[in-house]
Amino acid sequence: MSAGAAPIVVTPSVLAGSLERALGSDQVQIATSETQIATGRVVNLPSDNPAQAADILQLEAAVSRARQYSANAQDGASRLSLANATAGSVMRVLQQVVSTLEGLTGDQTTGSQATVAGVTTAVESARTQLIDLANTLYAGQAIFSGTGTPRRAYGPTGTYVGAGTAPTRTVAPATQVAVSVTGPAVFGPTGPTGLLGKTGILATIAADLAKGTSASVSKAATTGLSSLETAMSKVEAQAGQLGADQQAIQGFAEQASAAVTSFEQELSAAQDVTMAQAITNLQAQQTAYKAALYVTSQLNAVSLLTYL
């Protein structure tokens, strides 16, 4: 202490005031601990820890995005699975038609009215089945209707009524994948080269068979069969693509699910209270507070006695 400097005197009242301020701080800490135990979270207000609160908000956003990617991928996988299965069903129907026409070609009774009538009925039935398959629904929307909103991809006569392109889903940052194909990609365009429609391949085969002449029946069994097989190769290619897309999006679904788990673990580490430790801390704070409260009360009593 320098010469002439006044000594610092800490009176009981000054000390008591300091302890009272410390008590107020202790009360805040106890309240914070109680809130953490009640909510299970370390940070309940941004003011509790601004930096950590910002980290938690970022992690919550990351979890939300990852969950959305996962949901998108799972939805896409389900759509593609249905589209792939439907394309497989289309192939089976067409193979039956091919077998029927091939049987007609090798049948010596090709000109038999009953035989031709039976084949005609089979082709028309197949066309009806294909229109039904083309209008397969997923979540209330036809899977082959494109990005339009109609509940039907094809009208009763087999005319395409969908719109736009194949729908997509965002399955990762800046990554979108198609979750189906449009009707024309599978069934061909509305017209002579497509499977469906009033002038489509199947309608033309049925019409030729219905004429019943030797020439028309022969045309159905040769030219019609050749056109049908060409269209089938297109269906088969699309079925393969749908299967490959399904496998790819399942990979994205797995990645997104793993990301959700990882981000949730980081978020838990950042915001979740270790309950046993929190309870221990609270008990220690309460014990310290009671002791400080007792000391403060004694100092206040001494201060009052000195004053008197």
Please state, in angstroms and rounded to a whole number, the distance separating the CA atoms of residues 164 and 102. Answer: 37
HSE (side-chain half, CA atoms, 13 Å) at 12? 13
Nearest CA to 237 among 87, 127, 128, 92?
Answer: 87
Distances, alpha carbon 32 to alpha carbons 37, 57, 267, 275, 282, in Å: 9, 20, 20, 14, 9
171: enclosing H helix or E strand: strand 168-172
User: Which residue type sits at 217?
Assistant: V
Residue 102: its pLDDT value, please?
Answer: 85
Q: What is the end-to-end Cα distance of the chain in Å, rounded? A: 32
Q: Which residue carries 């090709």 as its tokens?
A: 110
Name 248's Cβ contacts closer than 8 Å, sequence gap at least 6: 177
Residue 213: its pLDDT value, please?
Answer: 86
Residue 305: its pLDDT value, please?
Answer: 45
pTM as predicted: 0.74
Q: Which residue carries 């609160």 as its tokens?
A: 53
Distances, alpha carbon 224 to alpha carbons 96, 221, 288, in Å: 14, 6, 94
Nearest CA to 83 among 242, 210, 289, 189?
Answer: 242
Decide: helix, strand or coil at residue 41: strand
**Chain centroid to CA 224: how far?**
43
pLDDT along the chain (308 residues), means of 10: 55 58 64 67 73 87 94 94 95 94 63 78 94 94 89 92 91 92 93 91 93 88 92 93 92 93 86 67 66 64 49
Residue 84: its pLDDT value, please?
Answer: 94
Beta-bridged to residue 168, according to DSSP, are 178
Residue 150: its pLDDT value, please?
Answer: 83
CA dihedral 56, 62, 67, 72 (to 10 degrees): 160
Decide: helix, strand or coil at residue 289: helix
Beta-bridged to residue 41, according to DSSP, are 272
Three-class HEC string of 100-147: HHHHHHCCCCCCCHHHHHHHHHHHHHHHHHHHHHHCCEECCEECCCEC
